Amino acid sequence: MEIVTDAQRTARPHHLFWPWFAANVSVFGMSYGSYLLGFGISFWQASIVAVVGIVVSFALCGLVAIAGKRGSAPTMVLSRAAFGVDGQKLPGIASWLTSIGWETSLTITAVLATATVFEALGWATGTLVSVLATLAIAGLVVTASVLGYHTIMRLQSVLTWLTGLCTVVFMLMTIPHIHWDAVAAQPAGSAQQMLGALTMVMTGMGLGWINIAADWSRYQRRSTSDGAIVAWNVIGGSVAPVVLVVFGLLLAGSDPELAAGIESDPLGALVTLLPLWALIPFWIVAVLTLVSGAVLGIYSSGLTLLSLGIRIPRPAAAAVDGLILTAGTIWVVFFAQDFVGPFQSFLITLGVPIASWAGILIADILTRRRDYDEAALFDRRGRYGSVDWTSVTTMVIASVLGWGLVVNGYADDAPWNNWQGYLLGALGGKDGTWAYSSLGVLAALVLSFAVTLITRHPTIRRQEKQ
């Protein structure tokens, strides 16, 4: 969590392209095509939803990244300006759980793909393969994250070219699997179904990364324009997912069996479209892209753990997260019967408080006119105080309202979330038209943004005058 000195601020805006592109160029992005069609919408509706959801969500990431340029600390430390030094622990816990969940899900996907490819090649299968794959992939993720920012940036720049090229080749080789007649025959859905799909894309794309967006921009020069920070976040994060999701829509819409296979093993189902001779190189690259995303997550989740007051070295924090990641992967791979159900339920549940936090922080960032007082971010007696009760109360109320407006669509696979949706009675109940629109995520984001913009303006101006 050390403050980045001005001498270390040597990055340029276009450098932000590398980590965001490398983390989102994975073939895994194509699986979202199946997820979107699962909402009962057409190809054209899903394409519109994908473009809008991806671009808007990464634009929100870009707005949060502005805080990194104005300060020199990780995202969750900079957030103390809005919540207070101690009050920040509330969104910090939600952020840590989100990062842990994402990096675990990426590792799970890599392990499942490994088992699928080995089985397709007639190699060793069973428990031993999954255990070894879990340990190897988790070890690679933790090792890369421990090495720090500069190593990760070099790694991401190499992976960007490697994975980008291989993804293009994958798409060219799987074009024969696309059947436009079947894709065009997909029936159109309602506005509520499109809204549900939009929320899923936003939480799975940009909002899934928003709690770490400033971790990479804090190495930017202070003179860099806010517009350049936002633009390169959007470009780096959006270019690959937009293409991949639309291509995934074409594949999933052409083959119902493929769409069903993605439900249990997203990457494995896609990779097996290739001829046997191509499985190994594409499996290696696909796993590396998933590792790339997990590395970003575990690096930042380690920083978030430290921001909660855990006094251990950052490598030790990454190791703690690595153990949790490994345990979570083992549980899903060996004991859970489904992957997509718990994953989607997890996205929506944590997506509500994270959306609320993002709304608060974005309003705070847009209201401020000066750089952060970096010393005060670590001093509860400083200008940001111990707890900003306006922000804390806003997040709690918005989250409670948001959870009441979402429903667990995977009741059998994630029964622990069946308590949600308690406010949907006024909108037709849990089986009504709006039930699966995930309205609560967007409601938490917009409500928190509006309340903060109105109520905290005097507080922010007072802070900046101290």
Residue 158 pLDDT > 80, yes or no? no
Residue 238 pLDDT > 90, yes or no? yes
Q: Where are the alpha helices (DSSP H) in 265-381?
A: 266-271, 276-307, 314-334, 340-367
**pLDDT classification of 362: cutoffs 50, 70, 90:** very high
Which distant-in-sequence residues (6+ apart) come within 8 Å of 190 by Cβ?
Answer: 433
Segment 183-209 shows an average pLDDT of 87
Single pTM value for the model: 0.83
d(C-alpha 86, C-alpha 90), whole Å: 8
Give residue 319's pLDDT: 74
Give residue 26's pLDDT: 72
Give residue 235's pLDDT: 94
Residue 140 pLDDT > 70, yes or no? yes
Percent of all residues in the chain with a pLDDT value above 90, rounded to a whole number? 30
Q: Which residues pair with 220 in a beta bridge?
A: 11
Segment 450-465 shows an average pLDDT of 93
d(C-alpha 35, C-alpha 409), whole Å: 13
What residue type is 195 in one-letter code? Answer: L
**pLDDT classification of 231: cutoffs 50, 70, 90:** very high
Half-sphere exposure of 98 (CA within 13 A, CB side): 30
Max mean pLDDT among 131-135, 189-193, 326-330 falls in 189-193
Phi/psi-derived region of residue 74, left when phi > 0, alpha when psi is between -120 and 50, beta in every other case: beta
d(C-alpha 318, C-alpha 327), whole Å: 14
CA distances from 74 to 107, 212, 368, 436, 440 (A): 24, 8, 18, 34, 28
Q: What share of the chain is helix, strand, coil (3-state, %, to 5)?
A: 75, 0, 25
Segment 432-451 shows an average pLDDT of 84
Transcribe 100-118 into DSSP letters.
Answer: HHHHHHHHHHHHHHHHHHH
Give the H or E element holding residue 171: helix 149-174
Max mean pLDDT among 179-183, 193-197, 413-417 falls in 179-183
Residue 39 pLDDT > 90, yes or no? no
Residue 163 pLDDT > 60, yes or no? yes
Give residue 337's pLDDT: 55
Residue 312 pLDDT > 80, yes or no? no
Average per-residue pLDDT for the chain: 83
Classify each residue of 389-424 as buried b or exposed e, where b means 16 or more C-beta atoms within 10 Å of its C-beta.
ebbbebbeebbbbbbbbbbbbbeebbeebeebbebb
Residues 50 and 245: beta-carbon distance below 8 Å: yes
Tokens representing 152?
């990760």
**pLDDT classification of 56: cutoffs 50, 70, 90:** very high
Query: Tens digit of pLDDT for each residue in 5-19?
Result: 777 877 888 888 877
Give residue 360's pLDDT: 97
Residue 373 pLDDT > 70, yes or no? yes
d(C-alpha 13, C-alpha 337), whole Å: 43
Report the residue count for the chain. 466
Query: Tens digit of pLDDT for each residue in 403-432?
Result: 998 887 666 666 777 788 888 877 766 666
